[in-house]
């Protein structure tokens, strides 16, 4: 080395890990020079990474030989020439001339993105150098940028790398070359075509195709039976470029979407989520709607109700249906019971083809499926009917004694409850109203036929009762004396008549011109003792006459 040169340690690395030296005197140094530390290239193109190298003149004055020059990318203990790397086979070329060390790589792929370093060695001790930072190579695709304007889309072919010399572009529609050779074209939205581009002269390396979404597909997870409370995920997928966005809808609901995103998740699904769902996929080139996917949430009976038909008044002998309805999935099996728990039917409907008053009562149903069971509340069946034949009772039930109090009671099975009216035979006006009719101080005038009438909105019915008064002891004796006196009076009258006729006959034979004698019988009975005296005197007179 030149004694006048100053020497300092650098990142220069020797063949055996020695420290390289940089001579800081003009250009008389160890150096690898790159025109750019970063290079961007388009996939499929060819790139050249410029490079020059130098070493001190003192070594050049000596018999210095450059023993090896190569590029490498992979950080290894001993760098490997890229020409021997299978990933670069047939695609790498060194453009070496004197101190020029340019690397050329053809048919670039995305895997070629890396940091490339140049290294040379000499036959001098410490005569080895590797470029400090190397060159970072980035490989990108051509891209088609899409901008929508109304019903048209502008497609622009571009790369994140600067393509030199303002090249011409080639456009393809559905894989077929178009005539346009501009950097952008306009197409109609929703036309379902695919577009790509390339740099003219490099047609084998086209951009990815851009296109509207394909028909979306929808999947449900889990695909087995969905039970209330489980987690369910609906996934929408659609092939599209640019990538599609997704919105979820439920059939027969308002157009407002339910959710935005590729997945619609129910963390704790409810029966109300049952229904048909679909998704829409959309990008700047169009949109598509999926078919329907059905969600059927299974759950135990939850709410059970019982109803009666007809809902209005139930008439006897009409047809009545009691229906049990339970919210359940799958559909439950039903059982009907009366208020006493007796099983009546295993159908959802309990039918009375000709309902009777005896069918009135409360009923309930039970619904059961594989997930559970539920019991309804009571439903009331109330049959309306006209009064049945009334029954009448008398109190006291023994002989009715004149002057006593008599209570008549009328009762009849009826719904609604009957109203009662009492009548006496041969009288136009009602005698009394109400279920109970009481006659105080009963007398002979009260004797006769009575009947009660039971009436409601459905009809009327009546029943007859024959009441006869039975006299007390003193009255009974008086009645016997009166009948006896009447009989004696008739006998006396008969005897007087016979005696008169006999007298007339005798007079006609002895004294024909003498008039007949008139006898007036005036029987007055003032009281029991007078009647008895008259009866005695009349008896004596009759004996005398005889």
Q: What is the 3-state secondary structure (H, E, C) of 367-416?
A: EEECCEEEECCCEEECEEECCCCCEEEEECCCCCECCCCEEEEEECCCEC
By the 8 A CB rule, do 104 and 90 touch? no
Provide DSSP, 235-277.
EEE---BSPPEEEEEETTS-SS-SEESSEEEESS--GGG-EEE
Which top CATH class is 304-383? Answer: mainly beta
Name the pairing type of β-strands 19-23 and 7-13: antiparallel
Q: What is the pLDDT of residues 87-117, one digit of tens each?
A: 899 999 999 988 899 999 998 888 999 999 9
Give me the pLDDT at residue 53, please. 86
Max mean pLDDT range (34-38, 159-163, 482-486): 34-38
- 515 C-beta neighbours (distance < 10 Å), count: 7
Distances (CA, A) of 208 to 41, 205, 242: 16, 9, 10
pLDDT > 70? residue 238: yes
Average pLDDT over the chain reads 80
Give the whole-angstrom CA distance, residue 461 versus residue 450. 14
By the 8 A CB rule, do 332 and 326 touch? yes
Give the whole-angstrom CA distance, residue 57 versus residue 170. 52
pLDDT over 70 percentage in the chain: 78
Which among 12, 64, 54, 11 has a CA at the least distance from the CA of 33? 54
Residue 168's pLDDT band (boundaries 50, 70, 90)?
Answer: confident
pLDDT > 70? residue 396: yes
pLDDT > 70? residue 245: yes
Arithmetic mean of pLDDT, 34-57? 84
Give the whole-angstrom CA distance, residue 380 versus residue 11. 101
For 36-134, where are the E strands, in sequence order?
38-42, 47-49, 52-54, 66-72, 92-97, 100-105, 114-122, 128-130
Looking at residue 88, what DSSP letter applies?
G
By the 8 A CB rule, do 365 and 344 touch? no
Arithmetic mean of pLDDT, 123-130? 68
Give me the pLDDT at residue 518, please. 29
Give the whole-angstrom CA distance, residue 275 versus residue 280. 17
Query: Which pair of structure tokens corresponds to residue 524?
Result: 């007055």
Q: Which residue has the tokens 């209005």?
A: 312
Name the pairing type of β-strands 275-283 and 286-289: antiparallel
Domain ranges of the chain: 7-139, 141-199, 217-298, 304-383, 391-467, 477-545
Least confident of 12-26, 76-90, 120-134, 484-498: 12-26
Least confident of 46-50, 78-82, 201-205, 318-322: 201-205
The enclosing H or E element of 185 equals strand 184-188
Provide DSSP, 296-362.
-EEB----EEEEEESSSPEETTS-EEEEEEE--BSPPEEEEEETT--EEESSSEEEETT--GGG-EE
* CATH numeric code, 141-199: 2.60.40.10
| CA angle, 45 then 49 then 50, to 5° | 135
Which among 389, 383, 322 has a CA at the least distance from the CA of 358? 383
Query: Which CATH architecture fits 217-298?
Result: Sandwich (2.60)
Q: Which residue has the tokens 């996929």?
A: 281
Distances (CA, A) of 140 to 33, 117, 144, 232, 545: 25, 21, 13, 40, 172
Give me the pLDDT at residue 98, please. 83
Contacts of residue 501, defined as CB under 8 A and 6 or more positions apart, other chains included, come to none
Q: Among the CATH numbers 1.10.1200.10, 2.40.30.10, 2.60.40.10, 1.10.340.30, which is that of 7-139?
A: 2.60.40.10
By the 8 A CB rule, do 448 and 423 touch? no
Arithmetic mean of pLDDT, 385-406? 86
Give me the pLDDT at residue 497, please. 79
Give the whole-angstrom CA distance, residue 203 versus residue 198. 6
CA 338 to chain centre: 30
Give the whole-angstrom CA distance, residue 49 versus residue 35. 8
More confident residue, 400 or 432: 432
Query: Which pair of structure tokens corresponds to residue 254?
Result: 């308002």
Residue 373's pLDDT band (boundaries 50, 70, 90)?
Answer: very high
Residue 164's pLDDT band (boundaries 50, 70, 90)?
Answer: low
By the 8 A CB rule, do 55 and 64 touch? yes
By the 8 A CB rule, do 417 and 384 touch? no
Provide DSSP, 426-481.
T-SS-SEESSEEEE-S--GGG-EEEEEEEEETTEEEEEEEEE--B--HHHHHHHHH
Residue 420 has, within 13 A of its CA and on its CB side, a CA count of 22
Distances (CA, A) of 443 to 399, 401, 437: 13, 8, 16
pLDDT > 90? residue 176: yes
pLDDT > 80? residue 432: yes
Contacts of residue 247, defined as CB under 8 A and 6 or more positions apart, other chains included, come to 257, 259, 260, 279, 280, 282
Query: Which CATH architecture fits 391-467?
Result: Sandwich (2.60)
pLDDT > 70? residue 542: no
Q: What SS3 state is found at 204?
A: coil
pLDDT > 50? residue 23: no
CA 510 to chain centre: 132
Whether 391-467 and 7-139 are alike in CATH topology: the answer is: yes
Give the whole-angstrom CA distance, residue 434 versus residue 408. 10
Q: Terminal CA-to-CA distance of the chain, rounded, Å? A: 210
More confident residue, 63 or 21: 63
Arithmetic mean of pLDDT, 335-348? 94
Contacts of residue 433, defined as CB under 8 A and 6 or more positions apart, other chains included, come to 419, 420, 421, 422
């Amino acid at each position: 080395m030149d004694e006048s040169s100053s020497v300092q340690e650098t990142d220069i690395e020797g063949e055996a890990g020695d420290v390289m030296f940089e001579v800081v005197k003009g250009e008389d140094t160890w150096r690898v020079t790159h025109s750019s530390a970063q290079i961007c290239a388009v996939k499929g193109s060819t790139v050249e990474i410029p490079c020059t190298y130098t070493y001190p003149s003192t070594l050049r004055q000596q018999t210095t030989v450059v023993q090896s020059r190569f590029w490498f990318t992979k950080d290894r203990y001993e760098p490997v020439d890229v020409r021997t790397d299978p990933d670069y086979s047939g695609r790498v070329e060194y453009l070496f001339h004197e101190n020029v060390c340019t690397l050329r790589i053809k048919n670039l792929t995305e895997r070629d993105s890396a940091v490339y370093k140049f290294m040379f060695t000499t036959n001098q001790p410490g005569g080895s150098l590797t470029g400090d930072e190397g060159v970072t190579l980035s490989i990108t695709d051509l891209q088609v940028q899409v901008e929508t304007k109304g019903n048209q889309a502008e497609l622009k072919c571009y790369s994140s790398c600067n393509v030199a010399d303002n090249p011409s572009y080639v456009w393809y529609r559905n894989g077929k070359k178009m005539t346009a050779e501009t950097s952008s074209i306009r197409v109609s939205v929703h036309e379902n075509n695919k577009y790509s581009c390339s740099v003219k002269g490099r047609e084998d390396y086209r951009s990815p195709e851009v296109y509207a979404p394909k028909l979306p597909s929808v999947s449900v997870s889990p695909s087995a039976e969905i039970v209330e409370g489980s987690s369910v995920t609906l996934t929408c997928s659609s092939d599209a470029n640019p990538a599609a966005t997704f919105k979820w809808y439920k059939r027969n609901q308002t157009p407002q979407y339910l959710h935005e995103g590729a997945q619609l998740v129910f963390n704790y699904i409810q029966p109300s989520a049952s229904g048909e769902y679909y998704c829409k996929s959309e990008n700047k080139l169009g949109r598509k709607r999926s078919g329907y996917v059905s969600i059927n949430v299974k759950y135990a009976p939850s709410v059970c109700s019982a109803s009666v038909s007809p809902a209005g008044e139930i008439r006897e002998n009409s047809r009545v249906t009691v229906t049990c309805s339970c919210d359940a999935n799958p559909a439950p099996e039903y059982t009907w019971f009366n208020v006493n728990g007796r099983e009546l039917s295993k159908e959802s409907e309990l039918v009375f083809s000709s309902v009777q008053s005896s069918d009135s009562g409360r009923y309930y149903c039970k619904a059961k499926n594989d997930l559970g069971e539920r019991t309804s509340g009571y439903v009331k069946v109330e049959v309306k009917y006209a009064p049945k034949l009334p029954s009448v009772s008398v109190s006291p039930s023994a002989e009715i004694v004149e002057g006593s109090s008599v209570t008549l009671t009328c009762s009849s099975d009826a719904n609604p409850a009957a109203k009662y009216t009492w009548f006496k035979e041969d009288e136009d006006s009602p005698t009394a109203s109400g279920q109970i009719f009481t006659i105080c101080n009963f007398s002979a005038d009260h004797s006769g036929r009575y009947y009660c009438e039971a009436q409601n909105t459905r009809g009327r019915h009546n029943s007859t009762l024959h009441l006869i008064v039975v006299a007390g002891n003193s009255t009974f004796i008086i009645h016997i004396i009166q009948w006896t006196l009447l009989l004696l009076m008739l006998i006396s009258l008969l005897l007087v008549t016979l005696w008169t006729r006999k007298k007339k006959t005798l007079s006609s034979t002895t004294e024909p011109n003498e008039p007949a004698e008139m006898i007036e019988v005036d029987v007055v009975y003032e009281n029991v003792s007078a009647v008895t005296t008259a009866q005695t005197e009349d008896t004596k007179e009759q004996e005398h006459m005889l």
